[in-house]
Structures are given as C-alpha cells and as structure tokens.
C-alpha cells in the first residue's frame, strides 16, 4: 500500500469564509440584516509587514470586518489604495462571491511544502502583527478562488474566541464595532 500524499485539506479545518465585495456597506447590511450574523468587528487601514504580491513587494492599505456565524468566521475586506494585491485583482476582474477560505496552521513551513506538492502557487504573503505569517495560495481554480493559510499568535486566537462569544449573544445592536 502506498502512503497517501499530504493534501491541503489535511492542514486543518476551514475557519473562515472571506469576501471582497464591490459594495462593502451593502455586504455588511446583507450579513447583519438578512443573515443575522454579527456584530462585525472592524480593523481599519491595515498594512502588513513584508507583504508580497506575486513575489513583488506591495504596500496594501485595506480594512476588514469580521464576525462569527456559529464557529465560522465571516470576513469582509475592502482595499483603499491601488497597490497590486489579490483583493485588487478580484475587484478589477469584477468578481463577486467567496474570495477565499482560511485555515489556521501551526507550522507554516509544513503548510508551504504541502501547497507546493499540490502545485498550489503562493499569490500573496506577509507577516502578521505579533509574530504570525500568512500566505494565500491559488490551487488552480475552483469556485472559492484562494486558500489563506495563517499562523497566528495566541493573543490573536484568544481575541477571535472572545469575538465568537460576543457574536453568539448578539442582540442586533451596533452591527459594526471598531476593534482596538
């Protein structure tokens, strides 16, 4: 019997669905008013250290809003500048729908090896505040676009757990709340 090769799905469970909507405010209203997901927590004007898009440095200015639908994190992303990125490319192509899914990993070197073996190409990568790292890989198409693989510091994971608890008991008020 041959050993089964490592597959991207074996790196972990999808914990996030992310969207790069054309109309951020309309998307937020859809998720909070129609779907009942919230509150969303926003981080404005993020700039990640050592960000590279298609292997070249890129200084992306973007904002995110995240909430939880049960244990699934929902992320809305908007880019504020014209720096090359996976978000700008998505909008330039006029695409809507699911942009990427995210898997939290403990060992980014292992995740990179698994993705390379699966012929998944790194489209964007950066450092994450507090000592983490993120890569977005293109696994060759499919309806979901990209896969985000992220290694996060414990403080960020703890913050996500706290957000998840707030979302479990959300009463519909204050659908967008600043984070930090």
Over residues 81-139, the pLDDT tens digits come to 999 999 999 999 998 889 999 999 999 999 999 999 989 999 999 999 888 999 999 98
Domain count, the chain: 1
Residue ranges making up the domain that contains 41: 12-173
Residue 1 above 50 pLDDT?
no
Q: Is the dihedral of CA 135, 154, 10, 13 positive or negative?
A: negative
Whether residue 164 lies inside any domain: the answer is yes
132 phi, psi to nearest 5 deg:
-100, -175
Whether residue 155 lies inside any domain: the answer is yes
Whether residue 50 lies inside any domain: the answer is yes
Whether residue 157 lies inside any domain: the answer is yes
Whether residue 68 lies inside any domain: the answer is yes
Whether residue 57 lies inside any domain: the answer is yes
Single pTM value for the model? 0.93
Whether residue 158 lies inside any domain: the answer is yes
pLDDT digits (tens, 9 = 90+) for 42-53: 999 999 999 999
* Nearest residue to 134 via CA among 36, 37, 60, 26: 60
Angle at the Cα of 171 from the Cα atoms of 44 and 175, rounded to 5 degrees: 20
Whether residue 6 lies inside any domain: the answer is no
CATH number at residue 103: 3.10.180.10
């Amino acid at each position: 019997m041959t050993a089964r090769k490592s597959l991207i799905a074996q790196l972990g469970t999808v914990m996030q669905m992310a969207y790069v909507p054309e109309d951020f405010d309309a998307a937020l209203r859809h998720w909070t008013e129609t779907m009942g997901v919230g509150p969303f927590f926003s981080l404005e004007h993020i700039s990640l250290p050592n960000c590279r898009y298609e292997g070249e440095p890129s200084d992306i200015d973007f904002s995110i809003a995240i909430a939880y639908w049960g244990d699934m994190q929902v992320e809305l992303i908007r880019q504020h500048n014209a720096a090359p990125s996976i978000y700008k490319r998505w909008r330039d192509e006029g695409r809507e729908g699911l942009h990427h899914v995210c898997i939290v990993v403990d060992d980014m070197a292992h995740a990179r090896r698994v993705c390379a073996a699966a012929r998944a190409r790194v489209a964007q990568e950066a450092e994450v505040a507090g000592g983490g790292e993120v890569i977005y890989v293109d696994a060759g198409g499919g309806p979901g676009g990209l896969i985000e693989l992220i290694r996060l510091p414990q403080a960020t994971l703890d913050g996500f757990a706290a957000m998840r608890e707030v979302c479990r008991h959300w009463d519909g008020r204050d659908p967008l709340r600043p984070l930090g």
